[in-house]
A and B are shown apart, each in its own frame.
Chain A
Amino acid sequence: MSGNKSSGVRYGMVIDIDKCTGCTACSVACQQENNVPFREDETNKVRSITWMEIYQLDNGMPYPEYRQAYLPRLCLHCGASPYPPCTFVCPVNATHRDEDTGLVNHIPVRCIGCRYCISACSYHARYFNWWDPKWPKPMEEMLTPNVSPRMRGVVEKCTMCVHRLQLAKDRAFMEGRSELEEGEYVPACVESCPAKAMTFGNLLDPDSEVARLAKSSLAFRLLEKLGTEPKVYYLSSQDWIHKLADKVM
């Protein structure tokens, strides 16, 4: 997180690949929570929108050495200084990093759909709305009121459920607090993980679980050599995962 203006809060995530069972509960929870539209044919991965996507990794060895693992991928909310790659290239300032929280946000109504940020992102974390969102009849009633659906022609991506941060802050304000306690703000994916493979919190708080795990010797980040300083860390005790994770990006 070098170079960021310090506010004492840098939200980040640690995902333990050894614990992940690839059940995709995080992916479903994300889709539901953030009103992410889907289409009849979701097999076309170039056109589908999946803020939280799960890659399947395997070590390529024949049985009995065969091993496989799952790599949940979301926007890594890069901490690179002074800008993450995506916000650096945006011609209309539709995406930018909140220096108080470290979250990279995207404002769809300001987006002109040039998709420059999609090409700049090294992690395929950004998606383009090729069509206006449509939900089958009863599902319209189930949309989250706290997240505004996006329209055709704009980019969207993981926001780390920033609306949950807004609501958590409101609750804290009612108690006269301006600081959040650990666990008050958690994205939907982390909350839904049945294997408890994901941890979320303030990376700058030395007492937080997420900061402790991020410093672990098992921790690594995707494409670290690029200097994008992602705030999502992965844990694995297996060497082949460390080596392969960069190659699948």
Chain B
Amino acid sequence: MTGENKQQNSGLLGWLLFVVGFTGALFVGWVIFPQLLFSTQYQPINYNHVIHQEEAGMSCEDCHYFRDDGTYAGKPKLAACAECHEEPQGETESEAMLVSEYVEPKKEIPWVSYSRQPDNVFFSHAAHVKMAEMECTDCHGDVGQQTEAPPVKINRLTGYPNKIMKMYVCEDCHAREHVSNSCNVCHK
């Protein structure tokens, strides 16, 4: 009797150790490791896309536009913000900060990029938006519906954001759409 009990006990103990070890490993892999690997950076100003569209009646192209030579302006410079925000227009804390810390001292806002590609990547917005007629949201998500600027997770080892488009995503789509996957189409 006692021998059988002992065997049962050691079996239970084995299971217990396995479950504890397994959940522990998952916890380390899913919770602790990502926190170690990625640092969280907040935007200098909690930018609200919705308020600019709905209350100021702006369109996306007012800030994010193509230059005539086909290059893409990306994020606007301070001068574009200062056109309207010479004085605070509303009463939000973010706007007061924009005026006092950036517009008045004429200091560029150090926005953190959500999708900065490495130096040797040449990405053409013109090719994708003008020629392939893709929507901005296909890659960037529905940024226009954001009421606040989400934090950016930056990989501590590489220095790149976690949501950056990976090369296999580019290659997959190019292959599907029968576009050249030659190195020098996207690399410089």
Q: Which A residues fall within an 8 A CB radius of B?
A: 96, 98-101, 103, 105-109, 146-148, 159, 162-163, 165-167, 169-174, 176, 178
Q: Are A96 and B122 in contact (CB under 8 A)?
A: no
Q: Are A171 and B122 in contact (CB under 8 A)?
A: no
Evaluate whether A159 and B184 lie within 8 angstroms (CB atoms) in the complex, with A167-B70, A171-B69, A176-B130 already known: yes
Q: Are B180 and A98 in contact (CB under 8 A)?
A: yes
- B183 contacts the other chain (Cβ, under 8 Å)? yes
10 example contacts (A-B, Cβ-Cβ < 8 A) are as follows: A105-B182, A109-B120, A147-B188, A159-B184, A163-B122, A165-B184, A166-B188, A167-B69, A171-B70, A174-B69
Highest count of chain A CB atoms <10 Å: which of B120, B185, B188: B188
Q: Are A148 and B120 in contact (CB under 8 A)?
A: yes
Q: Are B122 and A173 in contact (CB under 8 A)?
A: no
Q: Which B residues fall within an 8 A CB radius of A?
A: 66, 68-71, 119-120, 122, 124, 126-127, 130-131, 180, 182-185, 187-188
Report which of B69, B127, B182 forms a contact with A98, defined as CB distance below 8 A. B182
Evaluate whether A173 and B124 lie within 8 angstroms (CB atoms) in the complex, with A96-B183, A105-B183 already known: yes
CA distance A163 to B187 in the complex (A): 8
Q: Are A163 and B188 in contact (CB under 8 A)?
A: yes
- Which residues on B sit within 8 Å (CB–CB) of A148? 119-120, 187-188
- Which residues on A sit within 8 Å (CB–CB) of B120? 107-109, 148
- Which residues on B sit within 8 Å (CB–CB) of A174? 66, 68-70, 126, 130
Q: Are B184 and A103 in contact (CB under 8 A)?
A: yes
A123 shortest CB reach to chain B, Å: 20
Evaluate whether A162 and B130 lie within 8 angstroms (CB atoms) in the complex, with A146-B122, A173-B70, A174-B66 already known: no
- Which residues on A sit within 8 Å (CB–CB) of B126? 169-170, 173-174
Q: Are B183 and A100 in contact (CB under 8 A)?
A: no
A-B contact count (CB 8 A): 71
- Residue in A closest to B179 when the chains form the complex, CB atoms: A100
Q: Are B131 and A173 in contact (CB under 8 A)?
A: yes
- Residue in B closest to A95 when the chains form the complex, CB atoms: B183
CA distance A169 to B70 in the complex (A): 8
Q: Are B182 and A96 in contact (CB under 8 A)?
A: yes
Q: Are B187 and A178 in contact (CB under 8 A)?
A: no
- Residue in A closest to B70 when the chains form the complex, CB atoms: A170
A129 shortest CB reach to chain B, Å: 14
B66 shortest CB reach to chain A, Å: 6
- Which residues on B sit within 8 Å (CB–CB) of A169? 70, 124, 126-127
B166 shortest CB reach to chain A, Å: 14
Q: Are B124 and A166 in contact (CB under 8 A)?
A: yes
CA distance A176 to B180 in the complex (A): 19
Report which of B66, B68, B180, B183 forms a contact with A107, defined as CB distance below 8 A. B183
- Which residues on A sit within 8 Å (CB–CB) of B184? 98, 101, 103, 105, 159, 162, 165-166
- Which residues on A sit within 8 Å (CB–CB) of B68? 174
- Residue in B closest to A172 when the chains form the complex, CB atoms: B70
Top 4 closest A-B pairs, CB basis?
Answer: A170-B70, A148-B120, A98-B182, A105-B184
With A98-B180, A105-B182 known, 14 other A-B pairs at CB within 8 A are: A105-B183, A105-B184, A105-B187, A106-B183, A148-B119, A167-B69, A169-B70, A169-B124, A170-B69, A170-B71, A170-B124, A170-B126, A174-B70, A176-B130
- Which residues on B sit within 8 Å (CB–CB) of A165? 184
- Residue in B closest to A173 when the chains form the complex, CB atoms: B126
- Residue in A closest to B129 when the chains form the complex, CB atoms: A173
- Residue in A closest to B188 when the chains form the complex, CB atoms: A163
Report which of A108, A163, A173 forms a contact with B130, defined as CB distance below 8 A. A173
- Which residues on B sit within 8 Å (CB–CB) of A170? 69-71, 124, 126-127
CA distance A169 to B76 in the complex (A): 24
- Which residues on A sit within 8 Å (CB–CB) of B131? 173, 178
- Which residues on A sit within 8 Å (CB–CB) of B124? 166, 169-170, 173
